[in-house]
Chain A
Amino acid sequence: MPELDVLPEPATVASGQCTGKAVSVVSLRKAYGDIVAVEDASMEIAAGEFVTFLGASGSGKTTTLMMIAGFVEPDSGTITVGGRDITRLAPQKRDLGFVFQQYLLFPHMTVGENIAFPLQLRGVPKDEIRRRVGETLEMVGLAGYARRKPRELSGGQQQRVALCRALVYRPPVILMDEPLGALDKKLRDQLQTEIKNIQVELGLTVIYVTHDQEEALVLSDRIAVMRDGRIDQFDTPRELFERPRTPFVADFLGAANFLPGRIEGHTGEQTLVRLNSGSLLPARPHPHTPGTAATAAVQPGRLDLCPPGDGFCAGTVRSVTYVGTLVRMQVETGGQVVRAELPANRAPATGDQVGLTADPADVTVFASDEDG
């Protein structure tokens, strides 16, 4: 799990050096026959912000992106870029950049011709085209590849060229549809860093689609978690982790433990949950009235060990798995398995009796009638 603190907040991008523009999406909707692909999607994206649409396939993330790009016509809603309404414009008139999962380099053109293409469309003088193509290729570490044909390059190289082609004419917003989906893990990590660096350096507005949570966390200033055509939550990675608004978000991003129970009462800054096991768990405030059936969600990494009997539950350690400096363990308590992560030097042994405790600020309560 990446350290959340190092992820840049949107405010860290100084608006002065942005080449990007703000994007605003209001109440976008798209249905195919009876199937609603996207419903009521709204968001304000700041200039220079890196936003990811995160969701499983069929969640509507790609459809939303395609509507912004102009390849899919929305049923209703508006899209503006830098204050200009582009909802009904043809794709070629939107002045956006698009990076496709399948690269889609023009096979009959060389790498250089591919990158020069959007500049030629804009009537850029030949000398400048040559200069900018060279510069852009250098930026992604492909200097000297201009004369190759796309099919002579590896997948990672092709995607770098595709990235160049979208960057070279400096569109104010770049859309990326799972651009790293076809690459292997190592290459993906490397390109993620490159994309992020370029985005920050140039102050680009990027809207990125992926189904990979880790990728979303590494890249994004803010993430829109999508499910069934709706945006569940649009927030910074930290907020999504610490204050998930739905059980789905809690589960999708952090693989949270869900502990069933009932709201016992409220004490000032805390809501108390009576778990089904009988013990009492203090959590972040939640408005529901006492007696409501509820679930407490807590990330494995936010649990700590304590002597049995001290914490909100006690149980037996069933398994301990080392993952580098961390251990993942499963603790069986009252018929439920709770997952926890600890620094490796504090790992218990399998079979130990342990208690579990959590900071109330890390425990989120969902009433059971909330969907998820």
Chain B
Amino acid sequence: MAIASASIAPGGLRALLRSRRTRAGLLNAAPIVLYLLILFVYPIFGTLLLSLKGENGGLTLHWYADALSGSNFEVLLTTLRISGETAVLSLLIGFVLAYAVSRLRPVWAGLVMVIVVVPHFISALVRTYGWIILLGEHGLVNNLLVKLHLPGTPFSLLYNELGVIIGTTSVMLPYTVLVLYGVMRSVDRRLLAAAASMGAGRLVTFRRVYLPLVAPGMATAGLLSFILCLGYYLTPALMGGPKQTVVASLIDQQVMKQNQWNGAAALGVILLLLTFAGLLLLRLASRIGASARTRRAA
């Protein structure tokens, strides 16, 4: 835009030609921008407004006070707890798998990544159902444990937090593996050899060289699964008990069963703010990662 306006004097024609390319860009971008403004941005603003609207029309923070007190507040804490637990768990498990894959030869790595990626494209609902069958009182897992004569069997693995975490972790795991695998593949393994050549032991090399190199990726992976978990309620609803009610389920209940739109809107906005906070951290992590990369390159 600046260029076009600066060049009016000698080349009005040139400005026109330049803007032809810009015009094509605007014209092609318009459909999706309009679409998302109407069906994505506007509805979210609508939600925001509704969450601030009092029963007699004025502005109020009443719905937020409601959402942040009593059992609703418990639900919010549960959501954060489940998201946190899932993030940590899928980060740890994802780290192990991604590390193993990054050490494989490309052909094998490709095959393993297929096993990681394919489940991701299968409906999470279906995968959750698979877990329900697996973890039931007479499911495969308990049958196996009973046969091993472990004390306390059959365990109750369903309709409690353990079940929820198993389910959500399996849903989030592909994300963390993909992120971590990408980062680990880009690590220059000669750096590790260099560290070893200086006399660093295995553990020291891992802790002082490898971990710092992949740390930004770990932050990204963990935060990503945390964010995605926040609004996810399929698995908690199907595999959890009453104590595992999450904010998203609450929104669903308030809309579908109680017709309590304002309260649902307030919960939605809180979820949105939490997501923004997570995205901000994600941005920060990737920026730190980027500056670390430039430092390395320099």
The reply to whether A and B meet directly (CB within 8 Å) is yes
Using a CB–CB distance below 8 Å, which chain A residues touch chain B? 73, 75-76, 88
Q: Cβ of A88: which chain B residues have Cβ within 8 Å of it?
A: 13, 17
Roughly how many angstroms separate A73 CA and B20 CA in the complex, as a whole number? 12
Q: Cβ of A73: which chain B residues have Cβ within 8 Å of it?
A: 14, 17-18
Q: Would you call the interface of chain B mostly helix, strand, loop, or mixed? A: helix
Using a CB–CB distance below 8 Å, which chain B residues touch chain A? 7, 10-11, 13-14, 17-18
Roughly how many angstroms separate A230 CA and B13 CA in the complex, as a whole number? 25
8 additional A-B residue pairs with CB within 8 Å, beyond A73-B14, A75-B11, A88-B17: A73-B17, A73-B18, A75-B7, A75-B10, A75-B14, A76-B10, A76-B11, A88-B13
> How far, in Å, is A92 (CB) from chain B's closest CB?
14
Which residue of B is nearest A76, CB measured? B10
Which residue of B is nearest A74, CB measured? B14
Which residue of B is nearest A32, CB measured? B3
Which residue of A is nearest B20, CB measured? A90
Q: Cβ of A75: which chain B residues have Cβ within 8 Å of it?
A: 7, 10-11, 14
For the complex of A and B, list the 7 residue pairs with the smallest distance between their C-beta atoms, beginning with the closest.
A73-B17, A76-B10, A73-B14, A88-B13, A75-B11, A75-B10, A88-B17
> How far, in Å, is A54 (CB) from chain B's closest CB?
28
Roughly how many angstroms separate A75 CA and B15 CA in the complex, as a whole number? 10
Q: Would you call the interface of chain A mostly helix, strand, loop, or mixed? A: loop
> How far, in Å, is A86 (CB) from chain B's closest CB?
13
Q: Cβ of B11: which chain A residues have Cβ within 8 Å of it?
A: 75-76
Q: Cβ of A76: which chain B residues have Cβ within 8 Å of it?
A: 10-11
Which residue of B is nearest A33, CB measured? B3
Which residue of A is nearest B17, CB measured? A73
Roughly how many angstroms separate A73 CA and B11 CA in the complex, as a whole number? 11
> How far, in Å, is A78 (CB) from chain B's closest CB?
12
Q: Cβ of B17: which chain A residues have Cβ within 8 Å of it?
A: 73, 88
Roughly how many angstroms separate A73 CA and B13 CA in the complex, as a whole number? 10
A–B Cβ pairs within 8 angstroms, 11 of them: A73-B14, A73-B17, A73-B18, A75-B7, A75-B10, A75-B11, A75-B14, A76-B10, A76-B11, A88-B13, A88-B17
Which residue of A is nearest B21, CB measured? A73
Roughly how many angstroms separate A76 CA and B13 CA in the complex, as a whole number? 11
> How far, in Å, is A37 (CB) from chain B's closest CB?
15
Which residue of B is nearest A29, CB measured? B10
> How far, in Å, is A231 (CB) from chain B's closest CB?
21
Which residue of A is nearest B11, CB measured? A75
> How far, in Å, is A39 (CB) from chain B's closest CB?
14
Q: Cβ of B7: which chain A residues have Cβ within 8 Å of it?
A: 75
Roughly how many angstroms separate A117 CA and B10 CA in the complex, as a whole number? 38
Roughly how many angstroms separate A88 CA and B11 CA in the complex, as a whole number? 11
Q: Cβ of B18: which chain A residues have Cβ within 8 Å of it?
A: 73
> How far, in Å, is A277 (CB) from chain B's closest CB?
48
> How far, in Å, is B281 (CB) from chain A's closest CB?
36
> How far, in Å, is A202 (CB) from chain B's closest CB?
33
Q: Cβ of B10: which chain A residues have Cβ within 8 Å of it?
A: 75-76
> How far, in Å, is B13 (CB) from chain A's closest CB?
6
Which residue of A is nearest B14, CB measured? A73
> How far, in Å, is B52 (CB) from chain A's closest CB?
47
> How far, in Å, is A66 (CB) from chain B's closest CB?
14
> How far, in Å, is A94 (CB) from chain B's closest CB?
14
Roughly how many angstroms separate A325 CA and B13 CA in the complex, as a whole number? 58
Which residue of B is nearest A87, CB measured? B13
Q: Cβ of B13: which chain A residues have Cβ within 8 Å of it?
A: 88
> How far, in Å, is A43 (CB) from chain B's closest CB?
22
Roughly how many angstroms separate A349 CA and B69 CA in the complex, as a whole number? 102
> How far, in Å, is A134 (CB) from chain B's closest CB?
39
